[in-house]
Structure 1
Amino acid sequence: MQPPACRVRRLASPALLALLACSAAFASMSEDVKKEVKDLKKSGISRKNGIGLKEIVFVIQSQSYSFHAKKAEQLKKIILKEAANLTQELPTVLLLHELAKQEGAWTILPLLPHFSGTYSRNSSWIFFCEEETRIEIPKLLETLRRYDPSKEWFLGKALHDEESSVIHHYAFSENPTVFKYPDFAAGWALSIPLVNKLNKRLKSEPLKSDFTIDLQHEIALYIWDKGGGPPLTPVPEFCTDRVDSHCATQFRSFLPLCGQPVKKEDIFVAVKTCKQFHGERIPIIKLTWEGQASLIEYYSDYAESSIPTVDLGIPNTERGHCGKTFAILERFLNHNRNKIPWLLIVDDDTLISISRLRHLLSCYDSSKPIVLGERYGYGLGTDGYSYVTGGGGMVFSREAVRRLLASKCRCHSIDSPDDMVLGMCFSGLGIPMIHSPLFHQVRPWVLFLPQGEGGISLPFKG
C-alpha cells in the first residue's frame, strides 16, 4: 500500500495542484513579508507612518541682511504655496534670524530649547535648510514617512573627511571616513524625541565656550556625543550636486548676481605679507589673480620696490597681525582720496577670484556697514561673538571701516588675532558678520568651477 501522500499526489486534479502551489507560494511570500516587517520594525522604520505636513517645522537658516532675508522669505512662500496645493493644514516655516537676537543663534544648538518647548507636542520633525535649498514637498513628506518619528533620528546627506582636517580639530585622525556629518545645503532633519533629548542635555551640560568653525561637523559631533547619541543616518533623497526624480531636495550653488557686477575700480585689495615670503608667495599672486585687480597694494614689514611693497611701520609677528590689519584699515579710510567703496584684505597665501567677488558684491549696499566672508564663532554659548576669518579673505564696506575706527575699538597688542578682534569690535557695534560659503580658509572639496560656479577664495599653501 502506498503512503497517503503518494495517493493524494496521484489523485489530485490540475486545478487542485495549482491551488496547492499558490498556497505554498503565498505561505512563502507571507514569511518574506513578515521578515520585511520585522526588519522594518527593528530599524525603526514604519511603512505606514502617516505624518502630515503640519507635523514638520521648516527652519530656513537665514541671515538678517536684507539680501539674505529676502531670499529666505521667497523660499518660505514657495514652501507654503506647495504645501497649500497638498493640504489645508500648512506646516510651520521659520526664519532662523528672526527666532532670536542672540549672537549665537546661527549655530542652532542654543535654539533647541525653543524648538523643544514650542513644537514638541504637535510636531514630529524639525527640518533645516539653507536659503538656496529647493524642496519637493510631496517627496520630502514621503521620505520622512519612512522613519518612525517616535524614535531619535538625525537625517541628512552624509559627508565625511578623506583626511584629517585642522578645521575639524583632526577628529578621527586614524580614519576620518568613519564619521559622517550633514551637508546643510541638502537639508537635514531632527526628530522631536532627539530634539527633546538634546534640550535636556543642554540644561545639565551648558554649551562650552569654544570655537565654532565648521558648524555641520560640530553639530554632528554634539549629537553623536561620543557614541551616546545617534550617528547621522544618510538619506539618498537629500541631494545637492546630483538631481533626479528620486530627490526630495536640491541645491544650486550658483554665484548670485543682483545687477551689474561691481566695477573692479570700486574694490581696493590689500595683501598682507612679510619679507620672508616676498620671493615665495608674491610671484604666485602675480601669476594668477593680481591682473584681475585694478587697485592692489602689498603691505609688509619691509619696503621692496620690485614688487612693490609698502612698509606700514608694524613689525612682523608670527601670528595675530592685528596691528598690521588696523594700519591697513586706517590707510584705506584716511589716505584714499577716491573714497573707494570696498576693501578686501587677503593673506599672501590665498587665491582670489576678483571677477566672482564683483558679482557677489552686486548684492550688497556699500553705503551700509558690511563685513563679509567665511563666518566663525567664539564662545557663542556664553555671550561670545562671530567673526570673519582672515584666511579666506575679509571684505569691508567703507561705512563698516568708518564706524569701526570711530569706535576706538583697537588691538590689545599688535599680535592679537586680527579677525577675532574685528569680530568683537563689530559685535559691540551691532554690525553682524555676513557669511558666504564662497570664501574658504581651507581647501574645499569643490574648487574653482567654470561659468561662475565654485568659490571666491581658497589657500594655495600646503
Structure 2
Amino acid sequence: MWTMVPAILKFSNISDWTIIAEDISDINIGSFGNFVENRLLNTVVFSGFGLQDREYPLLSAGFILSRSVIETIRKVDRNERWSGFAIDAKYEFSLLIHKWNNVIMEHNPTVFCCGDIFDTCIVTCSLPAPPVHAEPLLDSEIHVMIKTFDGHHQNRLSVLKNTWTSDISRIEYCSNKEDLSIPTVDLGVGNTERGHCVKTWAIFKRFLNHSGKGAKWLVVADDDTLMSWKRLKQMLEMYDPEEKIIIGERYGFGFGMDGESGYDYPTGGSGMIFSQTAIESLLKTCPSCAADNDPDDMTIGICAVTSGIPIIHEHRLHQARPNDYSPEYLQEPISFHKFTDIDPIFVYYKYLVDFDNHPDTFKTEL
C-alpha cells in the first residue's frame, strides 16, 4: 500500500488499464488483449490471483486496475495518513480500494497465475534467482547472531541447534548470561521484556569490533526464528555486500498517502540481514539507542532513513507462522517466526528443508 498508492498518485497520465506486479513476475503482454476485449473501458475492474477468501491479490502474480479505479485512487486526500503500521501491502491496498469505491477483487487464476499455468496468463508468479555469474556464497562469509536470554537457553536454543543452526560454522548465541554448555555469549547488557534495542546495538558493535572479521553479511534472528540456511545463502548471492543494504520482511510506520512521510523497517522476528557497510553507517548515525527497550527493528528503520540505507523487502522472510499465511503465498520460504501453538521441528522440516538434497532426513529426524 505505502508504495503502490504513492506511485499511482505520481502518474503523469492515466492509461485505460494498469498492471501492477513484482520485479520478479513473468509478464506475457500478448495475452492482455484477450482479457480486455470484452470489457468496457468504464467498467470497474480489480482482478488478480486472490488470497484469503480471494479478496486481495498475490503480488507476484500481478493484478490489473481499470481507469475508473485509478481515478478513484487519485482523488484521495494526499495529506491523509495511513493509520499506524503498514504491514501487509496487498491486503491494505485492497482494503483502501474497497473503502473508497466499494470494489472487491475478482479472483482470476487463469489470467494472473501461480501454480497452474495457462495460455491465457498475463502475469505469472516467479521466484528470484541469483545471476548466472554469481559466485556461491561461502558459509564463512555469513555471520549469524541469535538474540536470546537465559530463560530461553534450554528450550528455544535446543530447537535451533537441532534444526537450522546445527551446521552453521559462524554463529553466536547472544544472551545476558554466559552458558558454556551451549555456548552463549554475554553481551554485557541486561535483558528487556520488549524492544531489545540495546541488545541489538550490542550485537552490531560486537560484530564490527570482535566477531565479524571476514564476514560479508550479518544475520540477526530471534531465538524462536526458523530459517532455511540454503535458501538464505541463495538469496544473498543476488546482492552486493559492498553496498549499504538491509534485507528483511519490510514493514512501515506513519506513512502518508503521498509516500513522503513515515519509514520502512525490517521486522525483527523474520530475520534481519545487514551488509557490514550498512552496520557501520547505522552506528555512525545512531551510536546508541534512545532507550534500552526501544523497538530495535523500528529504530533500525529510523536510522536507515537518516543514513540513506535502503530496506529491501524479501517476501520469503516471514514474521509469523506458516498457518498465518495463505498457502499460495508460501513459495520457497526462507524463515518463519514464533513457536506458539506449533511443533517447530515439524514446521522446519515441512517448509524449510529441501528433500531433494536430503531424501532421508525427514524419516530420520522425525
TM-score tier by shorter-chain length is: 0.7 to 0.9
- Give the TM-score, by structure 1 length: 0.68
Residue identity opposite 1:151 in structure 2: T
Structure 2 counterpart of 1:400: 278
Instruction: Please tell me whether the aligned partners of residues 257 and 359 of structure 1 are also in contact (alpha carbons under 8 angstroms).
Output: no
CA distance in 2 between counterparts of 1:213 and 1:337 reads 31
1:112 pairs with 2:12? no
TM-fit CA distance, 1:356: 1.5
Change (3 A) 1:292 1:419: same
Question: Greater RCO between the two (CA within 8 Å, min separation 6)?
Answer: 2
Residue identity opposite 2:85 in structure 1: F
Structure 2 counterpart of 1:269: 144
| Greater share of helix | 1
TM-fit CA distance, 1:189: 1.4
Instruction: Please tell me whether the aligned partners of residues 49 and 107 of structure 2 are also in contact (alpha carbons under 8 angstroms).
Output: yes
Structure 2 counterpart of 1:278: 153
Structure 2 counterpart of 1:243: 117
Instruction: Please tell me whether the aligned partners of residues 206 and 212 of structure 2 are also in contact (alpha carbons under 8 angstroms).
Output: no
TM-fit CA distance, 1:431: 1.0
CA distance in 2 between counterparts of 1:306 and 1:331 reads 21
Structure 1 counterpart of 2:359: none
Structure 1 counterpart of 2:164: 289
1:416 pairs with 2:308? no
Structure 1 residue matching 2:218: 3-state secondary structure: strand
CA distance in 2 between counterparts of 1:146 and 1:420 reads 47
Structure 2 residue matching 1:335: 3-state secondary structure: helix
Change (3 A) 1:233 1:447: closer
Note the alpha carbon deviations across 1:316-369, whole angstroms, 9 max, x for none: 112110000000000000113733221000000111112212111112111111
Change (3 A) 1:313 1:417: same
Query: Which residues in structure 2 correspond to 1:14-413 (within 5 Å)?
Result: 107-115=3-11, 118-120=12-14, 123-160=15-52, 177=53, 180-203=55-78, 206-225=80-99, 228-236=101-109, 237-253=111-127, 255-256=129-130, 258=132, 259-336=134-211, 338-381=213-256, 383-413=261-291
Instruction: Please tell me whether the aligned partners of residues 211 and 377 of structure 1 are also in contact (alpha carbons under 8 angstroms).
Output: yes
TM-fit CA distance, 1:397: 0.7
Instruction: Please tell me whether the aligned partners of residues 448 and 455 of structure 1 are also in contact (alpha carbons under 8 angstroms).
Output: no
Residue identity opposite 2:103 in structure 1: P
RMSD: 2.2
Change (3 A) 1:447 1:431: same
Note the alpha carbon deviations across 1:429-458, whole angstroms, 9 max, x for none: 111111111211113445999xxx602111
Change (3 A) 1:317 1:348: same
TM-fit CA distance, 1:257: 5.0
- Give the TM-score, by structure 2 length: 0.85
CA distance in 2 between counterparts of 1:194 and 1:181 reads 15
Structure 2 counterpart of 1:438: 316
Note the alpha carbon deviations across 1:33-53, whole angstroms, 9 max, x for none: xxxxxxxxxxxxxxxxxxxxx
Instruction: Please tell me whether the aligned partners of residues 132 and 253 of structure 1 are also in contact (alpha carbons under 8 angstroms).
Output: yes
TM-fit CA distance, 1:460: 4.8
Instruction: Please tell me whether the aligned partners of residues 186 and 239 of structure 1 are also in contact (alpha carbons under 8 angstroms).
Output: yes
Residue identity opposite 2:30 in structure 1: P
Change (3 A) 1:256 1:446: farther
Gapped regions of structure 2 (runs ≥ 5): 341-366
CA distance in 2 between counterparts of 1:187 and 1:448 reads 13
Higher radius of gyration, 1 or 2: 1
CA distance in 1 between counterparts of 2:326 and 2:160 reads 22
Change (3 A) 1:434 1:309: same
Change (3 A) 1:330 1:297: same
**Which consecutive segments of 4 or more residues in structure 1 shift more than 6 A?**
none
Change (3 A) 1:377 1:194: same
Gapped regions of structure 1 (runs ≥ 5): 1-103, 161-176
Which segment is superposed worse, 280-289 or 248-257?
248-257
Alignment: residue pair count: 332
TM-fit CA distance, 1:147: 2.6
TM-fit CA distance, 1:231: 0.8
Structure 2 residue matching 1:202: 3-state secondary structure: coil
TM-fit CA distance, 1:459: 2.0
CA distance in 2 between counterparts of 1:408 and 1:326 reads 9
CA distance in 1 between counterparts of 2:22 and 2:136 reads 24
